[in-house]
Amino acid sequence: MLVLDGLTVGLIILLVIGAYLIGAMYIYAPFKIRRQQAKDVKVDYVPIELPELAPEVAQAFFDATRGLAACGFRAIGHLTHCTHKTAQESYVSIWVNPSGVEHAQVIGVCTPSELQGLRVVTLVTFRTEFTDGSSIVTTSSSSTGVFPRDPKISAIRCPGIRDFALLYRFHRARVERDRAGRTATLDRVKDARTRMENEWTETYHRLIGAGYYSLDLTRQQYVPTLKGAFLMTYRLLPPFKQIQRFQRDRAAERTLRELGFGGMDAFRNAQSLPAAVGAASTVASPR
């Protein structure tokens, strides 16, 4: 009769728990993601006025109003969108700068959770689009994302940067160095609602082409493929998440140094405006 000592039993229990966790994260989770991440083909963006914003994101958007206006931008519209399946509420404010031929988006996302309360994420993104379909993007987002890189977009993320003017100066420096004779255009930013609807459709058509999603005409939904579900899940898990973050942080660090901003630490320390955009917070309980 086999008799196991306490240490052996403990090791077996640890191995069983480890196998369970690995199976749950790397095998079961993609199937769960596949069920949860189906997206409607037609997304309903609703115009909204700034006083109607949820209080959790209002301050960030009011800061944006002052900061972007000081940089020469003017608002063309504010929108909200609710994902009923998850009760997630999203807000976006779209601004254009005709003199610089670029636009900005201020985004706020409120995600309720029974365990963590209401998680609020805000960010600002500057974008210069060119007539050849390419673009240069600079964002304060901290997310590494789960989708494959779009080869037409040169994007740099600067997490923790809340100073609009500073981030905008960095974006302008990138455009001046990297535009390579391309012609900037605002033709695709005529009104806020059309812009966001087109952006949604173009994103998922690109993902269909990359094999991440398929189009279900019956349900009128974009549905993750098995390949897409696994790849999107793995981009959220170690070591893939850490590798992505390292690569993107290194690209930001290198570009900041090349353009005379002294690297990410110096860039953060150079901020002069304690604005709320670019932050993530958790409210005590979901609304």
- Of residues 276, 264, 213, 280, the one with CA closest to residue 64: 276
Other C-beta atoms lying within 10 Å of the C-beta of residue 232: 22
Q: Is 72 exposed, middle or buried (0-12, 13-18, 19+ CB in 10 A)?
A: middle
Give the whole-angstrom CA distance, residue 260 versus residue 23. Answer: 46
The tokens for 221 are: 């939904």
Q: Is residue 51 over pLDDT 50? A: yes
Range name among 22-36, 177-191, 198-212, 236-250 with the lowest pLDDT average: 22-36
Mean pLDDT of all residues in 208-227: 97
Instruction: Report the candidate in 107, 146, 109 with the shortest Cα–Cα distance to residue 281.
Output: 109
Task: Assess contact for 125 and 195: CB atoms under 8 A.
Answer: no
pLDDT at 287 over 90: no
pLDDT(183) > 60? yes
98/74 Cα distance (integer angstroms): 9
The predicted structure's pLDDT at residue 285: 42
Q: How confident is the model over 67-85, as a mean pLDDT?
A: 93
pLDDT of residue 149: 94
Region 200-218: mean pLDDT is 97
Q: Which of residues 278 and 26 earns the better pLDDT score?
A: 26
- Mean pLDDT in residue range 248-253: 97
At 3-44, the pLDDT tens digits run 556 666 667 677 777 666 676 778 888 988 898 899 999 999
pLDDT in tens, 112-151: 887 778 889 999 999 999 999 999 999 999 998 899 999 9
What pLDDT does 12 receive? 67
pLDDT band, very low/low/confident/very high, at 170 (cuts 50, 70, 90): very high
